[in-house]
Amino acid sequence: MRQNHVTEQAPRPLVFGEVLYDKFPDGSAVLGGAPFNVAWHLQGFGLAPLFISSVGDDEPGERILAAMSEWGMDMRGMQRDAIHPTGCVMVSFEDHQPRFDIVPEQAYDFIAGAAAAVLGGESGALLYHGSLVARQATSRAALDALRAEALPLFVDVNLRDPWWQRQWVDDALHRARWAKLNEQELRILSGQEDTADNDIRVQASLLRQALGLEVLVITLGEAGALLFSETAVVETVSGDDGEIVDTVGAGDAFSAVTIMGLLRDWPLEVLAQRAVDFAAAVCRMRGATTQDRDLYRHYLRKWSE
């Protein structure tokens, strides 16, 4: 892996995309949005990400900004939208698996501004983004401005119908150095969704080669994950047998630790196991984020031993 070790002076990760409230059947609402979740975890681990997004000029937006400030996050990348509301997603469950009703025309669809205005001359260690934020032209243009900075790119595929187009996803993946997707997304992008007996390892290896990715991550839910590089295939499973509360945000927890491992040059086997273990911990709580700083301290101590 080509990244240097992170120090306090080192460039930090940039995270671009949606922030919203996940609204659950019991009436509770939890901060969410894949990029926000990733940035939140990176902050918890001490990597000081710059998160770039937009919230509405409304009470949910105020709560998001207050939570970010309390968590110590850099607020320079946050915008207020006087027209569009703060994002929300309605979450339901089927066999512990979340289903998402994603609302259109939200503030995160209208992230504006050029990269130079946000960065202020600062360089980044990498840029992380998902595919949902590309559904609207305004945010898509802002993302293109950031990608023009030629930062190493981590793309987290999120194929939520009807909010994606193949050309957007293909374009992002061809720009990427690293990418993460789940098994179903792999089958869709490989054109093998109707052939369940096709070897996932073959599909993933061919896709990684075709895209020229340094690392391709395939998440497998409770079965763990597969990581593919030019020289290795790493399979890892969770050793955690704790009770699952919900799986919302598990993939984002995995992404955050993967980014941390890439920046700290962890061996791929170590990175994979740590990412799976932290994702399992997130499954033991409601929603994708937590203000429990001890959770992050626990894993930092464990990983330093």
Question: Is residue 210 assigned to a domain?
Answer: yes
Higher pLDDT, 60 or 96: 60
Each residue's pLDDT tens digit, 237-271: 876 667 787 788 899 999 999 999 999 999 999 99
Across residues 152-172, what is the average pLDDT? Answer: 94
Predicted pLDDT of residue 136:
94
Q: CATH number of the domain that 206 lies in? A: 3.40.1190.20
Question: Is residue 105 assigned to a domain?
Answer: yes
Predicted pLDDT of residue 195:
56
Question: Is residue 78 assigned to a domain?
Answer: yes
Q: In which domain, by residue range, is 162 found? A: 12-304
Each residue's pLDDT tens digit, 93-128: 877 677 888 989 999 999 998 766 777 777 789 999
Rounded to whole angstroms, the Cα distance separating 246 from 283 reads 5
| Whether the predicted pLDDT of 10 surpasses 90 | no
Higher pLDDT, 114 or 51: 51
Question: Is residue 7 assigned to a domain?
Answer: no
Question: Is residue 219 assigned to a domain?
Answer: yes
Question: What is the tally of structural domains in the chain?
Answer: 1
Predicted pLDDT of residue 239:
63
Question: Is residue 214 assigned to a domain?
Answer: yes
Higher pLDDT, 237 or 281: 281
Global pTM reads 0.91
| Whether the predicted pLDDT of 226 surpasses 50 | yes
